[in-house]
């Protein structure tokens, strides 16, 4: 039994430790396409890296979903499937619960989001309050500089994700 514990600890230490070069490679691979797009920073809301400036960032999206009790997990291995938008946006995929998938696109501002959204084929999308048909359309969530495309057939989950993200991005403190 003791040998199993030692082996498990050794595997854990090996898996969790990466060389500086691997960390630098991973960081450079995750850079945004456009430097004007808000960085997708994995920081907790309230940290200086997750500024409350009236725009969505990766950390504020994850924080809001977590606060809504949705068990979000950033899926760093998944690629966004929507190709008609996102050329001027930072994009990432969040797993919500066990089965739902949320593709998030963050733009530098709402005007850029609105212009890019014109390319979306809305016949395959519904908003959170609309019933899905047998085609199981994705749910479109839009707010400030964020576009979210949620793949979920659970109506309650669709509503909760939409409510969490349409409440608005973190605002700067009032003076």
Convert the pLDDT of each residue in 120-151 to its tens digit.
999 999 998 899 998 899 999 999 999 999 99
Mean pLDDT of 26-39: 42
Output the six-digit token pair for 52: 């409350």
* Bridge partner residues of 106 (DSSP): 90, 146
Cα torsion 47, 116, 77, 54 to 10°: value is 10
b/e code 31-44 from CB counts within 10 Å (16+ = b): eeeeeebbbbbebe
Q: Within the chain, where are the H helices?
A: 2-16, 20-29, 58-67, 110-117, 155-166
Mean pLDDT of 150-163: 96
For the entire predicted model, the pTM comes to 0.73
CB of 141 within 8 A of CB of 166?
yes
């Amino acid at each position: 039994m003791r040998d199993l514990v030692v082996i498990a600890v050794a595997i854990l230490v090996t898996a969790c430790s990466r060389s500086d070069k691997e960390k630098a490679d991973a960081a450079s691979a995750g850079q945004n396409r456009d430097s004007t797009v808000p960085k997708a920073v994995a920081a907790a809301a309230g940290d200086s890296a997750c500024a409350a400036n009236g725009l969505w960032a990766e950390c504020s999206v994850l924080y809001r979903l977590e606060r809504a009790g949705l068990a979000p997990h950033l899926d760093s291995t998944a690629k966004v499937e929507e190709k008609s938008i996102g050329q001027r946006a930072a994009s990432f995929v969040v797993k919500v619960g066990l089965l739902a998938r949320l593709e998030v696109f963050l733009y530098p501002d709402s005007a850029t989001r609105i212009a890019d959204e014109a390319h979306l084929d809305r016949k395959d999308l519904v908003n959170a309050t609309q019933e899905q048909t047998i085609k199981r359309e994705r749910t479109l969530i839009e707010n400030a500089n964020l576009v979210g495309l949620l793949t979920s057939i659970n109506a309650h989950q669709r509503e909760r994700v939409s409510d969490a993200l349409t409440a608005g991005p973190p605002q700067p403190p009032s003076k």
